Amino acid sequence: MGIPLHQVVRIGSYLLKKRLTGVKRYPLVLMLEPLFRCNLACAGCGKIDYPDEILNQRLPLEDCLSAVDECGAPVVVIAGGEPLLHKEIDQMVEGIIAKKKYAILCTNALLMEKKLDLFKPSPYFTWSVHLDGDREAHDKSVCQKGTYDRAVAAIKAAKDRGFRVSINCTFFNDADPERVARFFDSVMEMGVEGITVSPGYAYERAPDQQHFLNRTATKNLFREIFKRGNGGKNWRFNQSTMFLDFLAGNQEYHCTPWGNPCRTYFGWQRPCYLLGEGYAKTFKELMEDTDWDKYGTGNYEKCADCMVHCGYEATAVTDTLTNPLKAAWVGLRGVKTTGDMAPEISLANQRPAEFVFSRHVEKALADIRARDASKAAE
């Protein structure tokens, strides 16, 4: 695994305390989105399709740090958009670290070298650089040539300064297992501490709707990838072994959407980081007033093909805690890449998709314009 021992111990203690105190639902990772604006326009991304008035908004520093306290999760992933565009991003990271939380800053790395001086190495801080494969694959994925080389240069610069660096990569149905395996070998040679992998989620607003994976294709893809890496043991991952085993079709898991709650400019996003179908004003309201049974594979059409870590990593971690011997065996032998797969969840009773994006945007625009008009009047 690419997760440091002290982080494993602290998270394990947090999880054990929650279980011993009988808490049914609790967060594992806070997904903090302080802005939606990005300096790339990736074809598979559904996070940046907003009018400029919304893209220009920023979640203030004090709101970001309040969200960390309100949620209480031991890990905070700062995402976006591109977080390095936020003028208070260095103070945000410092504030999270001061609370003894693990801060993971996701970035496409275009601004990373320029901003390195704003940050200090810490065991509580990790850069997570977006790389979707080798040079050709990554540049195609992000729709801009030269981004792979700039990301690799930024990784080297950060490593040279003593920072902990990982990568995150998203794969679609055109991913070639052999190339992916060689790519994983290459990032290990770069010295990155770990890899976070995810099948692409089918964002309804993404420009490219042709290359999203269904669940069967996801399982076959990851079996073929892990097969080329000794069941995945050749590479370090920032994810639980049981989640990797799930990606390869060996575990039947249901989604845990509250495991990675998301705080954005709009509020606490329902039900998860991937779906914005309503927003709560407080974390307590999110946890207590969300009808969680309406979501997840088998419950909701939009969730049918999802196998993304922000929904299933918490499930895998819970399974690891509940069945440590099973998890240890998977860790020792590696991910199984042959044989029967676990049963698939039936979609027979899922409810149809609802399309509410425009309503949220209209409300947000009305609020912004009313606020701006009030300021102008003052």
- Write down the pTM of the prediction: 0.92
Band of pLDDT at residue 204, cut at 50, 70 and 90: low
Highest mean pLDDT, choosing among 3-7, 102-106, 304-308, 355-359: 102-106
pLDDT attached to residue 277: 87
Q: Do strands 102-107 and 75-78 pair parallel, antiparallel, or not at all (unpaired)?
A: parallel
pLDDT attached to residue 233: 95
b/e sequence 170-183, b meaning 16+ C-beta within 10 Å: bbbeebbbeebbeb
pLDDT attached to residue 365: 86
Amino acid at position 156, single letter: K
Tokens found for residue 242? 């049981």
The fraction of the chain above a pLDDT of 70, given in percent, is: 96
75-78 β-sheet, strand order: 194-199, 164-171, 125-130, 102-107, 75-78, 29-32, 262-264, 267-271, 276-280
CA dist 121 and 127 (Å) reads 10
Average pLDDT, the chain: 91
The fraction of the chain above a pLDDT of 90, given in percent, is: 73
Q: Render 233-246 in DSSP notation, one character per residue.
A: TTS-BSS-HHHHHH
pLDDT attached to residue 101: 97
CA dist 242 and 38 (Å) reads 32
pLDDT attached to residue 212: 67
pLDDT attached to residue 77: 97
140 has a pLDDT exceeding 60: yes
CA dist 378 and 376 (Å) reads 5
Taking alpha carbons only, the member of 115, 51, 104, 53 closest to residue 80 is: 104
pLDDT attached to residue 202: 63
Taking residues 58-74, report their average pLDDT.
97
Helix count (H) and strand count (E) of the chain? Answer: 14, 9
**Tens of pLDDT along 6-31?**
888 898 899 989 989 999 999 999 99
Tokens found for residue 194? 């770990």
263 has a pLDDT exceeding 60: yes
